[in-house]
Amino acid sequence: MKHRIRVSPSILAADFANLERDILRVEEVSDYLHIDVMDGHYVPNITIGIPVVEAIRRVTSLRLDVHLMITRPDDYIDGFIQAGANPLTVHYETCPHLHASIARIRSAGVEAFVSLNPHTPVSLLEEILPYVDGVLIMSVNPGFGGQRFISGSFEKIRKLARMREAGENWFLISVDGGVNDDNYRELCHCGTDILVAGSALFRAADPKATILKWKNG
């Protein structure tokens, strides 16, 4: 049976001077809106914070897929949840007490995702997988949009999908970085549930048509 594909347009590639307009262009056919929060420390870029997430919450009914690429995510979990994040993603690499971070997110009634950088093996997630709602695989080095997809990510996703099949907790697999018309089919075939993309969607001639094509395989 074909599994359901979800699409999460990343506003990192939107026109920030016309953010509401760009969000409304994709809202009808999208499942989430992906929001990258970067601090200039964990990744070499600075994007947005809690006030912008609050503002976005007021203009869309989409679920806000907030991805914390920051060095001290535990300090900001409550604030982003209050701003409307759901799901909320933290990085394996920045959470020394990952189980506690995940439990804190879920205790607020919010879905908790954990993300891995390209160099981090999925085997390190074995002990946390029973407690997460999703895993976000970074298929580029985080920090900037428009990067080339790292081809080794396909096998990484396959490994994670096999771990999911062997476990008792069914979690979603999300992929972010370099997702486009050339690789979305193989990503779905590998076991991906959520396709996160910025440039390939917001800069497409017809973002809605592209999203619908991806969702239909």
CA distances from 110 to 73, 87, 131, 136, 215 (A): 15, 6, 13, 16, 24
- Which residues partner with 35 through β-bridges? 66
Strands (E), the chain: 6-9, 32-38, 63-69, 85-91, 112-116, 134-138, 172-176, 194-197
- Count of beta carbons in the 10 Å neighbourhood of residue 8: 29
pLDDT at 30 over 60: yes
CATH number given to 6-215: 3.20.20.70
Mean pLDDT across the chain = 95
The DSSP element (H or E) to which 77 belongs, if any, is helix 77-83
Say what percent of the chain tops pLDDT 70. 97
Give me the residue spans of the domains in the chain: 6-215
Convert the pLDDT of each residue in 59-96 to its tens digit.
999 999 999 999 999 999 999 999 999 999 999 999 99
pTM here is: 0.96
Q: Which residues are catalytic?
A: 36, 176
